[in-house]
Structure 1
Amino acid sequence: MTVTAPAPPKTRRVVFPFTAIVGQEEMKLALLLNVIDPTIGGVMIMGDRGTGKSTTIRALADLLPEIDVVADDPFNSSPEDPDLMSDEVRQKVAQQIPLTIAQKKVQMVDLPLGATEDRVCGTIDIEKALSEGVKAFEPGLLAKANRGILYVDEVNLLDDHLVDVLLDSAASGWNTVEREGISIRHPARFVLVGSGNPEEGELRPQLLDRFGMHAEIRTVKEPPLRVQIVEQRADFDRNPPEFCNKYQTEQEALQQRLVKAQTLLPKVNLDYDLRVKISEVCSELDVDGLRGDIVTNRAAKALAAFEGREEVTVDDIRRAIVLCLRHRLRKDPLESIDSGYKVEKAFNRVFGIEANEE
């Protein structure tokens, strides 16, 4: 038996609508595919300053539908899925204790650059644990981000050790904190989004490889588009609620499309011959490990689901493969070829597509 609590009143600040963002299609597609299938493993967005990276990610979090959570649970535990429940909630379910369910907006957690490991992972109050015999756990940002989005701006400036911790949690879906022989773990399933400016240095290749997708964004060059972006921003700043109302229908339509895609995803089929060709591309590009193959398979399926189909096409793979592989190529310091172009060339060769279609 479950009891549903009413959703809290809408007091959140108004966010720029996702459907109003002009251009940056590559970044938007990568983010949407990760929402449809979080196992893709997150997105690394590299691009110039002032290209709307943070605006787009906040807009995505605002777009997502409300989710059912166990009321007053610090980990946003799911009332149905055991993999997304904290140990305490799982025990209640096992003992058939009724749960109070609340509806909550999907969380977007910002990770500040100066965050400590304790702030990220949570801490155990050893003194309380020893004196009172209870596991006194103070949840961190990973607990707050469970079933949501964890955003790290300037991820290339973050301490490598912390990036490792984030990537481990994102990959396993769990966060484990161990102090003085006391161990606590909780679900930490989130979409990890990192952004950065390439001028400030790249991430180490082994960390970069752990991100499912890599989107590169450039400053819009066409003057009419630039004017459109500037005018939109001015309209939004003048009257945010009125501006958002103009896009309400589009926002709701995209939200429904995402929900349908998540439902359809398990039924999507990727033909064996196409899977072999994806691995051929990875092999030809000399991609280390099998992450590239796995992520490309998942992304192509998510794209097919997003477009309402149960069968993956060659075009789905073409649109996803650059995002999934460009950051996994071995860097040759003497080569100036953009990695995206290299992936496209290998894709065209393996799939037998004429070069003039590029």
Structure 2
Amino acid sequence: MRHVFPFSAIVGQEAMKRAMILTAIDPTIGGVLVFGDRGTGKSTAVRALAALLPPIDVIAGCPVNSDQAEDVPEWVQNAGTETHAVPTPVVDLPLGVSQDRVTGALDIERALTRGEKAFEPGLLAQANRGYLYIDEVNLLEDHIVDLLLDVAQSGENVVERDGLSIRHPARFVLVGSGNPEEGDLRPQLLDRFGLSVEVTSPTNMAERVEVIRRRDAFDRDPAGFTNDWHTADAIVRDRIVKARETIASYDVGDDVLETCARLCIALGSDGLRGELTLLRAARALAAFEGASEVAHHHVTVVAPIALSHRLRRDPLDDAGSSSRVERVLADVMA
């Protein structure tokens, strides 16, 4: 059995962990972009969170992870009617991947051997109801970026070529990571990420030592280390599950909505996606904390990760995006 490093055992990186938890509670927030140094736990965190989440029910033989027989696409053959539990999918989208591999294409083997025109699902089908992880997302080819933009907007993958006309659901949490020194992300894709986190290597000696200690303990005894952190991970999982069940009951007062709007206006955020993301993230945080209502405190906590990547660049301001958000937030909340 392959063990995954426990989510609760990740040292520090609180903003990154919080962002991933919030998107696990409410996928409509729009995914997470994690930019920063190599070796800071970016890929570890997404795999750890997926392993922590409860399994999903899927119809046997359904390549798009449908949980109800009526949701199985018409082109799927030999799908059953019973469901079975599988781990939450985490699909890697590698650099240089072809469009056919992403969207799916004609099954060449069946076409040549049987003379049948059949569809071979791609990575988007595998990622449905799970996570699509892109390392070095800023180096992704433009035509793949355009494709992902279309699917992220519609929640559906459409393939119209090679004599095929295929549609299937493609709803997933998009997680992208990269190093800003290797290039910027296209603005169109940047805006599609709900939350953005900047991660750095820890500078605190005690924290660095603890990272090394835990990673070494996991490498030497994965099963034992995972078992040691089982209870802590179970607590986080139970809070996520409860938040998913209760989040729809959280109404947001006009005063909180006005705070979201004032903050986005003060920052010069384009469009209204910033306010909507801020609202959804604050509501998810309130549900995760088990709060009685969505309060200004929740907006304050999530504002840096919800808005920092939506700011226009200011060449006269040397402060980072998160610092600019926090500075404006202090003025708005004063």
TM class by shorter chain equals over 0.9
- Is the 1:121–1:139 Cα contact (8 Å) retained in structure 2? yes
1:106 to 83, 88, 91: 88
Structure 2-normalised TM-score?
0.94
Query: Structure 1 residues 223 and 182 mapped into 2: Cα distance closer, same or farther (>3 Å)?
Result: same
Mapping 1:338-349, distance limit 5 Å: 338-349=320-331
Residue pairs, 1:90-105, within 5 angstroms: 99-105=81-87
Q: Tell me what 2:166 maps to.
A: 184
2:73 matched to which residue of 1?
87
State percent identity of aligned pairs. 53
Aligned 8 A contact 2:250 2:283 in 1: yes
1:154 aligns with 2:143: no
Q: Quick one: distance in 1 between partners of 2:95 and 2:276?
A: 30
Write the mapping of 1:268-279 to structure 2, written as runs, cut at 5 A.
Answer: 268-279=250-261
Aligned-partner Cα distance in 1 for 2:64–2:6: 27
Letter in 2 for 1:247: W
Deviation at 1:167, TM superposition (A): 3.2
Is the aligned partner of 1:72 residue 2:61? yes
- Unaligned runs of at least 5 residues, structure 1: 1-10, 353-358
Q: 1:20 Cα deviation (Å)?
A: 0.5
Question: Aligned letter for 1:61?
Answer: A
Distance 1:222 1:87 in 2: 52
| Match runs of 1:161-310 below 5 Å | 161-180=143-162, 182-310=164-292
Alignment of 1:304-343 (within 5 A): 304-343=286-325
User: Do the aligned partners of residues 263 and 91 (structure 1) sit closer, same or farther apart at CA in structure 2, a change above 3 Å counting?
Assistant: farther
Q: Which amino acid aligns with 1:53?
A: K
Contact residue 59 and residue 80 of structure 2 kept, 8 A = no
SS class of match (2:83): strand
In the aligned structure 2, how far is the partner of 1:178 from the partner of 1:310?
48
Report the Cα distance in structure 2 between the residues aligned to 1:61 and 1:348, rounded to whole angstroms: 35
| Mapped contact 1:268–1:309 kept (Cα < 8 A) | no
Cα separation, partners in 2 of 1:134 and 1:296, compared to 1, 3 Å: farther
Which contiguous aligned blocks of 4+ residues in structure 1 show a shift greater than 6 angstroms? 89-92, 126-129, 131-134
Instruction: Judge which range, 333-342 or 59-68, deviates more.
Output: 333-342
Question: In the TM superposition, what whole-angstrom CA distance separates every residue of 1:121-179 from its partner, at most 9, and x where no partner exists?
Answer: 101359978x9997611100000000011100000111122123223323321111111
Q: 1:14 to 1:180 in 2, by over 3 A?
A: closer
Distance in 2 between residues matched to 1:126 and 1:249, nearest whole Å:
47
Separation in 2, partners of 1:241, 1:275: 46
Whichever residue aligns with residue 343 of structure 1, its letter is V
- Give the Cα–Cα distance (whole angstroms) in 2 for the partners of residues 125 and 286 of structure 1: 48
Asked if 1:55 corresponds to 2:44, the answer is yes
Unaligned runs of 5+ in 2: none
1:39 is the counterpart of 2:28: yes
C-alpha contact (below 8 Å) 1:45/1:53 kept by paired residues? yes
Given that 2:119 and 2:164 are in contact with CA atoms closer than 8 Å, whether structure 1 keeps it comes out as: no
CA-based RMSD: 2.4
Give a deviation string over 1:291-328, Cα, whole Å, max 9, x none.
Answer: 11111111000001111124101110011111111001
Aligned length: 334
Measure, in 1, the Cα distance between the counterparts of 2:265 and 2:314.
Answer: 17
Cα distance in 2 for residues equivalent to 1:308 and 1:277: 21
